[in-house]
């Protein structure tokens, strides 16, 4: 190959790669090669470079890759002169060794003077290596770091990879870059669709790779495959008078299962529609990777489905019949699970929960259920939910975990519990709460829409957080086996978006009390849970536009309940743009610095007789009037109005600090002025510590 700049194509052909991991593997391979070439100093156009993958290949195409490294000038520093020569001026082994390492004689070395002494040194002109010598170590290093949990061995090779490798294409422009990976020598021969055009197919260069594979019934670009699948499945759904249900996760998986996507529609017996639709959908999506078809108007399940085949059949009718034969027993299984589960009323599963361990120190799911019941009832009383219904919902919330259906489809926990509760005649609010207490399941998910479900959802997460922290299992690094970060975010959203005006400390004590007699919950554990939740809160609201200093300011004030905290934060954010904000923030900082230096507690009682200067009297009158005006505004949590009223204090505060020496020589006057500042600061601190807000 030449040293000219050209596009680089690398295609690694394998047996079918794991579909759920394929995108991550391909991205990681691309990133690793880019990083390796950058480190080696090989120029290429990163912005015009990309990667591709199909079930049988991972490929990268890097644009304008240099044929060799640029020549480099490097400086090497050796031993100190003191260590390089003995008392007779003869070169030591340190000097001769360094000289040999750079290909020079000792007397050819330079000397480098520094503030720490003199050193032997040299400057070397290093010619750049050709790409052909650099590329394969870079490729192998990128492949070695792929996130492969269980690599495979094949044949009698002593190496392993995610799947056996069968071909390798490495082209720099029109030239093959000679080399070998996983026992395959690089060439220009790729392979097409297993059935339609297996190949081999010759590639003349990176520019024709996509076209060659397209003519061989392989859509190499996963982005194009995704668009084609989405468009054809959507169109077929409309043709069936409805709409294909296409979730992002299933679409991504199907993209990674086919190389030549062809959408076809099938149908199943309408009698299966007696089974809850979620079970039929789960069966089609999880087991068959089919897209169910829903009615276009109200989203009800229809007896139709869309399949993305991996070939163009000569007999589409027979292919569709085959898919229909395959789906029938799966739907029959779902119906069997449904009918079997209905034979046992949901409440009769309670005893079985005592056989499922939740966590060694926290006992079984049955133990957790009893704790949730206790917490739920008290939360229900605080937020105005019906305590009896809330407690019953908490009692039944986990009962579907031991059903046949949830055993087969774990993602249906809660959903099936609601169906079984309705079938058993439970109250609508109870049945709804069994499903909804898992919400929010993920970022952006909807919250429960009734107070019974809110009570159970909050109780479940609080029990998990306090219990796991008390058991000494708080998350570390990226490890969070009990999903405590998600639970904390759930608590935050339930409280703030649900408008629940219960103090966080009150809720943590409810969870602590429920664990009494089973596990000791220390004050330190409660403090850790509190800090953990507030840290998640801090991250969440900073992501939503608050600054870290604004968060610090509102968290420095008494916590209260989270809806109140959010209202204070929003008011502070709006206030920061007001004209009076800068002056009042500066005054708060000054007040805070003065008060922090005092060793003794400072009273808020002010002796009017000791107000010597007119500026003191003016500020005293302004603060007294502000206290009177602010109380109803604080009671109404109207923090925008609170801050607008506090802004009126700007003028008397500025005058005070211009004319009044707080630390007066007279101890009584000094103490009175400190009390006045304490009283003033208390007005602001009910919203935020403005000294931290700028």
Does 2 score more than 70 pLDDT? no
Among 231, 280, 227, residue whose Cα is nearest residue 252: 227
* CA gap 201, 252 in Å, rounded: 28
Q: What three-state secondary structure class fits 647? A: helix
Q: Give pLDDT, residue 24.
A: 95
* Crossing angle (nearest 10°) for helices 579-596 and 639-647: 80
* CA gap 484, 473 in Å, rounded: 10
Query: What CATH number does domain 350-544 carry, 2.60.120, 1.10.3210, 2.60.40, 1.25.10?
Result: 1.10.3210
Q: Give pLDDT, residue 1.
A: 58
For the chain, what percent of residues have pLDDT higher than 90?
Answer: 69
Does 479 score more than 90 pLDDT? no
Does 693 score more than 70 pLDDT? no
Where would I find the H helices in 599-649? 614-635, 639-647
Lowest mean pLDDT of 68-82, 494-508, 587-601, name the range. Answer: 587-601
Instruction: For residue 199, give both structure tokens.
Output: 């190949």
* Chain segment 627-663, per-residue pLDDT in tens: 899 999 988 889 999 988 888 888 888 888 888 888 8
Mean local confidence (pLDDT), 107-112: 88
252 cis-preceded (ω within 30 degrees of 0): no
Where would I find the H helices in 636-693? 639-647, 650-659, 667-685
Q: Give pLDDT, residue 681.
A: 84
Lowest mean pLDDT of 351-365, 379-393, 603-617, name the range. Answer: 603-617
**Bigger pLDDT: 99 or 3?**
99
Which residues have C-beta within 8 Å of that of residue 100, sequence separation ≥ 6?
none
Lowest mean pLDDT of 42-46, 86-90, 118-122, 247-251, name the range. Answer: 86-90
Q: Give pLDDT, residue 425.
A: 95
Does 433 score more than 70 pLDDT? yes
For the chain, what percent of residues have pLDDT higher than 70?
Answer: 99
Mean local confidence (pLDDT), 385-394: 97
* Chain segment 246-285, per-residue pLDDT in tens: 999 999 999 999 999 999 999 999 999 999 999 999 999 9
Give this prediction's pTM.
0.82
Mean local confidence (pLDDT), 64-75: 87
Instruction: Say how many C-beta atoms besides its own lie within 10 A of residue 582's C-beta.
Output: 12
Q: What three-state secondary structure class fits 209? A: helix
Q: Give pLDDT, residue 694.
A: 59
Which residues have C-beta within 8 Å of that of residue 42, sequence separation ≥ 6?
65, 66, 68, 69, 131, 134
Fold identical between 350-544 and 579-692?
no
Split at pLDDT 50, 70, 90, the class of 578 is confident
**Distances in whole angstroms, Cα of residue 69 to Cα of each of 3, 139, 177:** 9, 16, 15
CATH architecture classification, 6-69+130-215: 2-Layer Sandwich (3.30)
Per the DSSP assignment, residues forming a β-bridge with 202 are 189
Instruction: List the chain domain ranges.
Output: 6-69+130-215, 72-126, 222-342, 350-544, 579-692
* Chain segment 514-550, per-residue pLDDT in tens: 999 899 999 999 999 999 999 999 999 999 988 888 8
**Bigger pLDDT: 657 or 205?**
205
Does 595 score more than 90 pLDDT? no
* Chain segment 223-254, per-residue pLDDT in tens: 999 999 999 999 999 999 899 999 999 999 99
Q: Give pLDDT, residue 688.
A: 86
Rounded mean pLDDT of the chain? 92
* Chain segment 118-130, per-residue pLDDT in tens: 989 998 887 888 9
* Chain segment 289-321, per-residue pLDDT in tens: 999 999 988 899 999 999 999 999 999 999 999
CATH architecture classification, 579-692: Orthogonal Bundle (1.10)
């Amino acid at each position: 190959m030449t040293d000219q700049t050209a596009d680089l194509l690398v295609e690694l052909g394998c047996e079918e790669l794991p579909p759920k991991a394929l995108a991550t593997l391909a991205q990681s391979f691309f990133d690793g090669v880019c990083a390796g070439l950058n480190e080696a100093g090989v120029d290429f156009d990163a912005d015009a470079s990309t990667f591709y993958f199909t079930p049988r290949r991972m490929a990268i195409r890097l644009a304008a890759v240099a044929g060799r490294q640029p020549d480099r000038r490097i400086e090497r520093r050796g031993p100190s002169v003191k260590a390089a020569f003995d008392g007779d001026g003869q070169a030591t082994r340190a000097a001769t060794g360094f000289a040999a390492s750079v290909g020079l004689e000792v007397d050819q070395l330079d000397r480098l003077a520094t503030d720490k002494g003199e050193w032997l040194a040299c400057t070397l002109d290093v010619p750049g290596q050709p790409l052909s010598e650099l590329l394969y170590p870079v490729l192998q290093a990128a492949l070695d770091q792929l996130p492969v949990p269980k690599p495979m061995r094949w044949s009698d090779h002593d190496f392993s990879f995610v799947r056996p490798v069968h071909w390798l294409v490495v082209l720099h422009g029109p030239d093959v870059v000679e080399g070998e990976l996983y026992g395959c020598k690089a060439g220009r021969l790729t392979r097409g669709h297993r059935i339609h055009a297996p190949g081999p197919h010759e590639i003349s260069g990176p520019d024709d790779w996509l076209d060659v594979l397209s003519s061989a019934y392989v859509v190499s670009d996963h982005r194009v495959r995704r668009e084609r699948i989405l468009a054809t499945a959507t169109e077929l759904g409309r043709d069936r008078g409805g709409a294909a249900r296409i979730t992002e996760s299933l679409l991504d998986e199907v993209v990674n299962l086919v190389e030549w996507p062809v959408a076809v529609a099938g149908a199943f017996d309408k009698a299966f529609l007696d089974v809850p639709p979620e079970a039929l959908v789960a069966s089609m999506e999880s087991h068959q990777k089919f897209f169910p078809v829903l009615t276009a108007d109200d989203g009800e399940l229809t007896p139709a489905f869309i399949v993305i085949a991996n070939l163009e059949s000569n007999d589409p009718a027979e292919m569709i019949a085959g898919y229909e034969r395959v789906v029938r027993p799966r739907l029959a299984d779902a119906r069997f699970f449904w009918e079997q589960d209905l034979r046992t009323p949901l409440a009769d599963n309670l005893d079985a929960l005592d056989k499922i361990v939740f966590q060694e120190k926290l006992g079984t799911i049955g133990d957790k259920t009893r704790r949730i019941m206790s917490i739920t009832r008290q939360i229900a009383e605080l937020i105005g939910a019906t305590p009896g219904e809330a407690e019953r919902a908490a009692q039944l919330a986990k009962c579907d975990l031991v059903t046949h259906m949830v055993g087969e489809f774990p993602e249906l926990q809660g959903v099936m519990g609601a169906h079984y509760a309705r079938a058993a005649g439970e109250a609508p609010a109870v049945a709804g709460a069994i499903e909804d207490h898992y919400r929010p399941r993920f970022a952006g998910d909807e919250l429960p829409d009734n107070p019974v479900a809110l009570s159970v959802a909050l109780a479940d997460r609080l029990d998990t957080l306090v219990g796991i922290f008390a058991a000494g299992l708080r998350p570390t690094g990226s490890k969070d086996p009990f999903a405590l970060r998600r639970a904390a975010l759930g608590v935050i959203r339930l409280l703030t978006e649900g408008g629940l005006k219960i103090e966080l400390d009150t809720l943590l004590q409810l969870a602590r009390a429920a664990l009494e007699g089973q596990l000791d919950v220390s004050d330190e554990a409660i403090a850790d849970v509190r800090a953990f939740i507030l840290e998640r809160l801090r991250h969440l609201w900073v992501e939503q536009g608050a600054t870290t200093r604004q968060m610090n300011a509102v968290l420095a004030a008494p916590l209260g309940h989270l809806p109140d905290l959010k209202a204070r934060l929003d008011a502070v954010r709006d206030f920061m743009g007001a004209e009076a904000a800068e002056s009042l923030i500066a005054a708060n900082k000054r007040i805070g610095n003065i008060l922090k230096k005092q060793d003794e507690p400072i009273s808020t009682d002010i002796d009017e007789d000791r107000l010597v200067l007119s500026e003191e009297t003016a500020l005293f009158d302004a603060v007294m009037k502000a206290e009177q005006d602010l109380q109803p505004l604080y009671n109404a949590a109207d923090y925008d109005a609170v801050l607008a009223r506090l802004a009126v204090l700007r003028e008397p505060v500025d005058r005070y600090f211009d004319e009044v020496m707080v630390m007066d020589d007279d101890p009584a006057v000094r103490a009175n002025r400190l009390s006045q500042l304490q009283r003033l600061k208390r007005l602001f601190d009910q919203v935020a510590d403005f000294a931290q807000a700028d």
